[in-house]
Amino acid sequence: MTKYNKNTLSRVDKFFERLSEKYNITISELDCVAYVTQEPVPFSDRLSGEKKVLRIGDHWGDLFDCAWFCFSTKLPEEYAREELALLIDVSGEGLVYDQHDGPVLGLTNGSIAYEYGSIRKHVLPLELCTISDGNLQVWVDAGCNDLFGHYIDSGDLKEAYLVRRLPHMRAFYYDFFVLRDALNNLGADTPRYAAILKALNDSINIIYDFTEAEALAARLVLKKEIEKKGGDPSLTITAIGHAHVDLAWLWPIRETVRKGARTFATVIQMMKRYPDYKFGASQPQLLAWMKDYYPQLFAKIKGLVKEGRFELQGAMWVEADTNLTGGESLVRQIIYGARFWKEEFGVEVDNIWLPDVFGYSGALPQIMQKSGLRYFMTQKLSWNEHNPFPYHTFNWKGIDDSEVLVHMLPEETYNSPASPTSIRLVEKNFHEKGVSDQALVLFGIGDGGGGPGTYHLEKLQRLKNFADFSPVKQRFAKDFFHDIDSNTAEYPTWKGELYFENHRGTLTSEAKNKMYNRRMEQSLRELEFASVLAEKYLGLPYPQEMLDTVWKEVLLYQFHDILPGSSIRRVYVESVARYEILDGEISERIHSVYEQLANGLTAFNSLSFEREEYIKAEGKWYLASLPAMGHAKLTQIAETSPCLLVGEHDLENEHLRVTFAEDGSITSIF
């Protein structure tokens, strides 16, 4: 790089640091009152919390505290309303709420690595506020935590301003951003690099007072480089908006419900501003919460699905762990998930969507194929440290040779910043380039970051066919999968488990949750078996509604941060308490049904193979021979009771002798 280029690039970078602060001009501070509670309350109870009158810099809450904020001001007459907006930052997350229209927009603050892009969503356009006789008022349902559940900025009110917006200056900022980022991905000795660098430098020479007229003139200087087109592509990138939301992780489940509302409200507002924008959401559980808690928002989502703007992804009820979850539960995940999409939206999905799960069972292809699912999307295996996974687009054969088509995101993130750097990472990383001419990108911020924002969508407008980079099309992931399904014989094949090297401790941590999960899986199957017999022989109604309700809660706790044990303590305190209640209720129902079925002393075998067991009843030992999935009266009294010998270091019956060391570990099983 020449000395001229180095000096000019330094000038460009210093200018860009200043530019990000120049497209909003502060007019005045807003009045603010907060009503603080420890747990969320609905809009109708918004005044029930502790009242706090706040100025910028005042403390309002501790970690996971909640509050309804009321911001208000008198609008100045000298500005047109379309020029004005609010800047709001409560050191956490917030949901702008209208008493008639429900959720309006999500607000987010926090910190995240730069490569994932800006997460701040703190601009509230005036058209989303209630205004009467020049007086503005807006209500915000806030949580004192950032998107990762962190406590930031000491729970203070950081921003509450009325500002004047400069749309040409903002547009100039994104032109400048895209071109500057392109330089990071072009050779310094290429003509394209030199042309972009000169254009950026020339545009700086126009800006003195950061006025709208200057911004308009500066954009004309950059226009040629922004609008340069690419040629015939060797790779085309499908981009779909995404907001991966962990249903519990560094926050409790109740906060996830609110995170979902913030995210989807933001999606709706962004779609009004960006006609090309398409967004996808997985996890029916999250949408079911929207239906229950935010019905107005849910109705708007249904409308966007019908319009072809909002994609429903993944057939599983939640993005579940697949290492510890039983096979029956994995099938149930698909049954309940696919049924919800079909019944609520009239949509049938054909994929499993698990970007963040900690490894994938070799049984999944068989389960998927028998469920009519053809495609699998993931990303997590790119985190392997010692054995990098060798493919991005490949055929996955399960343990029985069932086969599905897989795409693993080449950018190696599901939080793409949608920048020229993103495109170059895909081009560089994609293992199957030359075999496949298409790759998938998920752009946006998850876990409460509100998904894609202006930061992402402005750049994508400029990157549709940006010279020297692969073109980017916003479209549904299902269309991408259908397109790459045409030449599967050329893709590599992987057989068996997709093993994830990191997070191995999740196989053993939080053992109580794991115990209850397995107990519930077994108990629910037992109750279903008993209920079938009771319906057949006694005419008792099958408890379908109750079983569906309990199954869905058990499936929720199989989420890939809950069951594996990677969530905060509160998640386990609350889920174990629920498990105990569910376990007790199901056990009582099993006992009650079997009591009604029994005619005298009767043993039941719900397993799929014959069993011979010693059973003690009414002080006597019986040796029961039971058919598969059947029952029998206890009539054959055992000639001898089952042998059980207990020594200082061993246990023994007629089948096994187990010997223990002094520390309690097993030394032998014979």
29 Cβ neighbours under 8 A, 6+ residues apart: 55, 56, 160, 161, 162
Under 8 Å between Cβ of 164 and 79: yes
Tell me if residue 588 falls in helix, strand or coil: helix
CA–chain centroid gap for 210, Å, is 39
Element (H, E) at 530: helix 511-538
Nearest-angstrom CA–CA distance, 338 and 320: 14
**Distance (Å, whole) CA 458 – CA 117:** 13
Q: What are residue 139's DSSP bridge partners?
A: 70, 97
Distances in Å between the Cα of 420 and the Cα atoms of 109, 275, 559 are: 25, 21, 34
Cα–Cα distance measured from residue 460 to residue 423, given in angstroms and rounded to the nearest whole number: 11
Indicate which residue of 31, 356, 437, 583 is catalytic. Answer: 356
CA distances to 381, 614, 621, 622, 642 from 639, rounded to whole Å, are 57, 11, 8, 9, 10
Residue 658 CA to residue 665 CA, distance in Å, equals: 10
Dihedral pair phi/psi, residue 233, rounded to 5°: -80, 145
For 643-669, give one letter per residue: b (16+ CB within 10 A) or e.
eeeeeeeeeeeeeeeeeeeeeeeeeee
The Cα 337–Cα 346 span in angstroms is 13
**Helix ranges restricted to H, 358-510:** 364-370, 420-429, 454-462, 477-484
- Check if the beta carbon of residue 612 is closer than 8 Å to that of residue 624: yes
Burial (CB count <10 Å: 0-12, 13-18, 19+), residue 100:
exposed
Cα atoms in the 13 Å half-sphere on the side-chain side of 480 = 31
Please count the CA atoms within 13 angstroms of the CA of 621 that sit on its side-chain side.
10
Tell me the CA distances in angstroms from 316 to 211, 220, 480, 559, one per residue in order. 51, 49, 20, 10
Task: Report in angstroms the alpha-carbon separations of 557 from 513, 550, 553.
Answer: 9, 11, 7
- The reply to whether 356 belongs to the active site is yes
Please report, as a single letter, which amino acid is at residue 253. Answer: I
* Contact yes or no for 254/40 (Cβ under 8 A): yes
| Per-position b or e across 110-129, b if 16+ CB within 10 A of its CB | bebeeebbbbbbbbbebebb
Residues tagged active-site: 356
